[in-house]
Every structure is written in C-alpha cells, then in structure tokens.
Structure 1
Amino acid sequence: MRNILVTGADGFIGSHLCESLVKKGFKVRALSQYNSFNFWGHLEKSPFLKDMEVISGDLRDSFFCEKITKNIDAIFHLGALIAIPYSYTAPQSYVDTNVNGTLNMLEAAKKNEISHFIHTSTSEVYGTAFYVPIDEKHPLQPQSPYSASKIAADMMALSYYNSFNLNVNIARPFNTYGPKQSARAIIPTIITQILSGAKEIKLGDLSPKRDLNFVLDTCEGFISLLNLKHFGEVYNIGSGVEYSMQEVLDLIQKILDSKVKIIQDEQRLRPKNSEVFRLCCDASKLKKATNWQSKISLEEGLRQSIEYFKENLENYKSELYNV
C-alpha cells in the first residue's frame, strides 16, 4: 500500500500526519481547503512539501471527492470543522462539511474501490464520562452541534462498511496538542498569552479533565491502523492519563517560570449542558490490535510545543478569543 490521500491535510493533525507518512515512505496526496490565495495552511512551511502532491478543493463537492480518490490505496479522512464554540453559531456548516462531506468521501471511496478508509472521530462524541477510562462501548452523547455532527459522520462511515463492504475503520483520538495547533485550543491559548507578556490571561473553565496526547503520538496511532486486516471497528487513541485544565496551566507556568493572574472570560465558557467535564481514554483495543501506545509525556510535549510557539508567535493573535 503506497498511495495515501489525507483530507484536512492543511490542518493541525493532518499536516503532521502527512509528514509522518512521507517519512515512512508513503506517497501522499494532501487535500487542502480551497481558497483564492492558494494558501495550503500548515503545509506551507513543511520541510516535506516537495514530497507531497497538494490539491485544493472542497469536501462538500461530490464530483471533486470522486476525482481526488482515483488511484489511491487508502484514505485518512480528517477534513472537518472542529471548533466547538463556532458550532453553536453555525451548526448548518458542521452538517454540510462533517456529515455531507464525509458522505461524499465514502461514496467516492466506494466508487473507486479504495482498499482502506480510515475515518476520524473525536472523543467529544462520548460527552461527559459515565465511567473512566472510556472504552469504545461508552454511550455517545451529542453535547454540542460539533459532536452531534461527528456522531452522524461516524455512523455514516460504519453504514458504508455494513451496507457496501467498504473497508472502514474509525480512529477516535482524545485531545491532541502540539506544534501548529490553533489558539482556539486551551494549551496554545495559555502559552501564547504568556509568551506575549500578558500578566493577566483570559481562560474559560479550568475544572474539566482531559486525556492529552502529543500530536506525533496521535499520528502514529492513525498510521498503525493501516496494518489491520479487519474492518468496521472503532479505535480510541489516547494515553489513559487525565489532567485538569488547572493542572495543565500550572505545568505550563512551571516550565515558563511564570506566574499570571487568571481572568475567567464568560465567552469562553460552554453552555451548562454542553460542557464535557471528564474524558480519559481506554486505548487497550488499539494496543492489542497494533501494539500502539502513547510515548511522549505531557511535560516533554509541552516543552516541544512551547519552543514552536516561541518561534512562531507572530502567527498568533493572543489577545483575541479564537473560535
């Protein structure tokens, strides 16, 4: 298996995944969201850009999806709208891209007889945990329009396995962080505000707990799924260790030798019934199937992330609330 298509390749995880695949010798076709500036997002500065075939387009166009899936062996489908706050404002956009876009890619994969379709889910589909660690049998709870759209996309992907024998597996990563992440996420928000010299930083609720995974570990989890010969399965990707956002803040301040005042910003708070208070991963199914496990500690991952943000701080508007 050599020819790999990655949708969402211009984004945070997608760009790292493309680079990891190139390093392993795969031929990568990278889908970037079309724009009139010919801007390829995080692929622009990739040292492996010359080794990829970058194509710009839109998942919402079924004709385009059929075209880009020709002569491809496997698909990593990461393309999606992922910002939870924006899903409160524009839920229709999430249905159009996350549900209909996924349907277009599945149908294109079926027509072009793709040998392996790896669909990307999210731990947000579980909602606040009924039990921890969370395994793949945990009930799904649509606590935001974003998570609802991803549940629908997951079910559509599995339906193509059940109805059409399309070789589908679902990767369900827990919270991923690292270099190139958008400041809409809490770790870049904290780091960029502190690095910008702020003595007071604006954050939302610091009580929720998350299973945090360095992006390169997440990518290795994705790639491990290529070796599987059985399909129609969901695989969690996570460390099995949870941290409150307060603990993350404290660790970042320790690394940066900084002490800042925290201002709770009301616009950064989720609606009461939409906040997910606890996510901790049981990735034993993936480990048993592929021998994958998370390797990079939170402190080491944060140190690597901080170095990236130091070098690229001009690309972040730390004073703004990013949705």
Structure 2
Amino acid sequence: MDLLLRVAPQVRLSSSASGLRASLDAGPAAYVGVRADVPSTGEHVSLTQLEQRVRAAHAAEDVVALGAAEETLGSLHLDNHPLRRRPEPPDSGPLPTQERTALQRKAFRAALPQVSLFKWADRTRARAAAETEARSFAQALDVANAVVKQHRVVAVEDQWLELSEHDPATVIAELDAHFAAAECGCTCVDAGWDDETSRGYVTVVGRYPGLDIVGERGPGVSSSGRRMLRRRTRSERNALYLSGLASFALATVRRAISVAVAADDVHVIVVRPTAEGDGLEPIYVGSLSREAVTLRPSLADPVPLLLGSAVCQMQFEGSTHDLVALDPDPHVTEVVRACAEAMADEQLDTLLREPGD
C-alpha cells in the first residue's frame, strides 16, 4: 500500500519544551474546546520524564526504578484513551443567588447618593431611585449572562460538528492540543479525506528517543536471588528498543483516533535523534486503521503490528538486527527536515533567552 504524506499548507511546525508542535497559519482564531478528558486513575508520566527516569536510574544503579521505568516504556499502548464524546452544553441557568445579591448590593450603594440622614424626604426619594437602578442592573446582568452562555453553547456545538465532520483545521488543532497536554512527543501535521477510499486520515509525527534509552545493563537477579544490574547483549537491547518503539507508535495511534472521531486511518512517522545528536532520522513510516487498532486484543504484542503496518520497510542491519534509518524518500525527508529545523529553532530560542546575551 502506498502512503501519501500530505503536509497541509496551513500547518507550520514549531518546537517547545515538550516536543514538536504544529500550528495553523489560518483557520479559527480560538477554540472553546470540546475535550472531555477523563481523569486517569494512575500517574501520568510524559515521554520526556520517562527518559529522564531511565537515565537517572542508570546513574544511581537503582534496579527497582529502572525496571519500573522500562516497563512503563514498553506498555504505553495499554493506557486508556476514551473516545471523545459530544460535549454537554454549559449550564445556562441564572446567576447564583449569593452572587446576584452581592452585585445588587454593590449597584445599590453606587446608585444611592450621599444624602444626609436627617433629610428624610430626600433620603426616601434617593433610596427608591437606588433600588430602581439596582433592579435594572440585575436585569441587565441576567440578559448579558444568558447571551454569553448561549454563545458558548453555539461555539461548542459548532466545534463539535467540525470535529465530527473531520474538518482539517479543527482536527489538527484539537489533536495538537491533546498531544501537547499529554507531552507525548507527537504533533499532527495534516488531516483530510482520501479521495480514492473516502476515508478520513490524520498524519502524525512522533519523536522517540535513540537506542541509548535502553541501557547496556538492565534489571536482573543474581544466583543468590538478589536484584542486580546485569549486562545485556546487543540483540537484547535491540529487541527491547523495538518493543518500546512499537508501544509508542500504537499509543500514538490510539490517542489520535480517540480525538479525531471521524478519522479512519492514522499515518505515522517516527523520528529519533541521529547518533551524532545534531539532527533527526526517520525509523518508521506506517499507516494503521481504526479497525486494526480497536479490534486487536489489548494485551497482544505490538511489535508484529508495527512491522506489518510499515509502508516503508523498516531497516535492520547485522546479526543483532540494529534498527537504522529508512532509505531516503522525498516526502519523508521533507517532514524530517521541517522537524529538524523546528528543533534547531528551539535551541536558538533557548540561547536568546539566556541572561546577559
């Protein structure tokens, strides 16, 4: 199957502390938000935090912490990502009684002129006028409150309609906001409809750590049953790295289809830092359908799915199956170039923010 990597003209790649981001040059100026995030019962850990935990555990030779971090890296795809649902309209009821009373009291005091307590007739007329002003103020507040809430209802309904109909600008904005909140190292660079298949698609770029995320030593047990760090073979490191990559790719697709409710296919490009650390290289380009992801057993090994969904055959070298960069492809190369430039821009921004420069 051929994969057409479309990067929409209105999308611009940038970078932030949490990873790559895609922004829109045109489209809706602001989004009210139709996200209905379900609180997680466990601790949310970003990919960057996991990477830091692995390195810290290696430095401290903490077997327990290393085992927990590596286990999490290999089970990212098991996280729950509830499907986005039509949002409930915000409450359009009147102002709370306590708040309404406080506002009326302020309006009353502001409308009541400074009249001597001994001028009873003037005081009575002033009080009547102040009460009238306070009632008018409260009625105006009610009208304004109703108009604002009705506007919010319409805005939320319109955005949900655009998301459910797979409007590209809305889908890209919603997905990228979700990725940024999750700090998962991903960004959405395109969305639309495939003319030949009439299926909705999104294109996502994910940044995964290099092979050094899997240390040369890992959790093990000594002959006496004591936990210890034992040396890994190159093949073991490569197998663990591939397993983590597959979990990351599947988790990315599951995140995408939970937000882009009308997307049938998710095209994924995974890049990683080069060995020299001065750029990015593509290691996986694939396409996964909603059916393939939702109908598979949740505890099934994600590696066969990763290998089977690759539209550009993944490259392995040597007897230890070292994962290397994909062969150059003009579409993929363009995306990677844009990502590398975004990363370079972030480094430049960091230098410019340093004091004294």
Which has the larger share of helix?
2
Higher RCO (CA < 8 A, seq sep 6+): 2
TM range (shorter): under 0.3
What TM-score does the superposition give when structure 2 sets the normalisation length? 0.25
Answer with 1 or 2: which has the greater Rg.
Answer: 2
Which TM-score applies when normalising by structure 1? 0.27
